[in-house]
Structure 1
């Protein structure tokens, strides 16, 4: 006698406790992603000297500006209000214009940055922000050009490791949805593919500024696909299969 076909688990097969656990996890991840978007906005916006996030801000972040440095645009824009004394802006800009040399950095610039900036611009606190704790990394943003290759490697390996785990657990929950299996298989791959495209486009944008549009597209695709998985999972857990689900604790 042939063995009965294998029955795959769906949301209707899991207990109420497991649904609660899955839901609070997904909601927390969703909230965390919104905070990550806010962090990205405040990290990159205003680099072109204008309020708000634009494609030009992304270009400056990764490729660099033609006539400006990342530190100079930040001091003139979004970071200006963080300086304790207004006159410090002119001190930093003058240092940049004079070549951003190390002796003047140690004498004039380091005290300002240590007082007003490193509370956020420290790798252990926020690895996505430029490191302003010592001259070698400050020099990277004080000269023309975008993010350096070592910086991109450091940020991308953190990004890949962290986001991959999040997408895996979201996908593990999402595959319990009762939808077309082919759609499901494509849906779990899209956010991973978008994440890889996003990171790869950072390095390409470093050389080709027009790839900033790919950075924006891939980041949006990853967020939308992840958000759709979260929404469908919560919907099916509590509403779609409510007449057929188990009453287990």
Structure 2
């Protein structure tokens, strides 16, 4: 059992253990940011994460099909323009099976089934029935996908915040701000997940998704940075406000 009460006084073995964990989590947060930019961030076909990206991801772009949204968004670079236009027009014309064998399936075989093929984790677009589903009006994330992603985020990420907060709880930091920082990621995680469901039905709530992700990312970054500094940086060089050692 750890007998000390501050990060600065931890044995070297615990400092190395906690440092490794915090560094991995920090890199993981960065990768999560890049992943969001590569998925949601391209939903409107423009670089960077925007309000419209969130709306299209959860509420959908109901002026067209999900296939069209993907081809104009994150899948835009996966096929030449003429191929994308052919698929988009096919979807707009109702996604008829009469064009499947002669026109659409060869395109799928050449450009898509390497990822969207039999046995892949992604939908199998080598089958007409599966492609037909995404050629219908884009109504955003399905209830099934929202349920799956929600419980994964709530169960998985909360454990990350638990351990980051537990380490930070040993930091020398003003008590009021310590409590705020420890609780903020949990509150904003709930806000983030709740906003997905709200945006599914009311697109104006997309702003909450952006706020939720920003809130828990900022609080986590502060806790990770502070914990690392207090474990390894001489106390004499700490900022003055850290000298409040009230726990």
Gaps of 5+ in 2: 238-247
Q: What is residue 198 of structure 1 aligned with on the other side?
A: 192
Query: CA-to-partner distance for each residue in 1:213-247, whole Å, 9 max, x for gaps?
Result: 1100111001101111101111111125479xxxx
**CA 1:179–1:110: 2 relative to 1, 3 Å:** farther
Q: In the aligned structure 2, how far is the partner of 1:164 from the partner of 1:59?
A: 25
In the other structure, the counterpart of 2:123 is: 132
Calculate the TM-score normalised by the size of structure 1.
0.79
Alignment partners' CA distance in 2, 1:38 and 1:104: 37
Q: Which residue of 2 aligns with 1:79?
A: 75
The corresponding residue for 1:4 is none
Match of 2:241? none
- Aligned 8 A contact 1:47 1:70 in 2: no
Distance 2:210 2:219 in 1: 14
Cα drift, residue 100 of structure 1: 3.2
Q: Tell me if the contact between 1:61 and 1:70 (Cα under 8 Å) persists in the aligned partners.
A: no
The answer to whether the 8 A contact 2:169-2:178 is kept is yes
1:7-46 CA-to-partner distances (Å, cap 9, x unmatched) read 8611133111211221121111111111110010010223
Residue 67 of structure 2 is aligned to residue 67 of structure 1: no
- Asked if structure 1 preserves the Cα contact closer than 8 Å seen for 2:66 and 2:140, the reply is yes
2:165 is the alignment partner of 1:165: no
Cα deviation code 1:88-137 (max 9, x no counterpart)? 31332122112235776687556644654465669x988xxxx4325458
Q: Which residue of the other structure, out of 198, 207, 210, is the alignment partner of 1:213?
A: 207
1:233 is aligned to 2:227:
yes
1:174–1:105 Cα change, 3 Å: farther
Match status 1:17 vs 2:21: no
* TM-score normalised by length of structure 2: 0.80
Q: How many residues align?
A: 231
Higher relative contact order (CA 8 A, sep 6+): 1
Deviations 1:172-201 (A, max 9, x none): 211110123333222211101111110010
Partner of 1:45, secondary structure, is helix
Q: Secondary structure at the match of 1:191?
A: helix
| Conserved 8 A contact 1:192-1:222 | yes
What is the Cα deviation at residue 77 of structure 1? Answer: 4.1
CA RMSD of aligned residues (A): 3.0
Structure 1 pair 104–178 and aligned structure 2 pair: CA distance change class (3 A) = farther
Tell me whether 234-243 or 17-26 shows the greater mean CA deviation. 234-243
Residue 148 of structure 2: aligned partner? 154
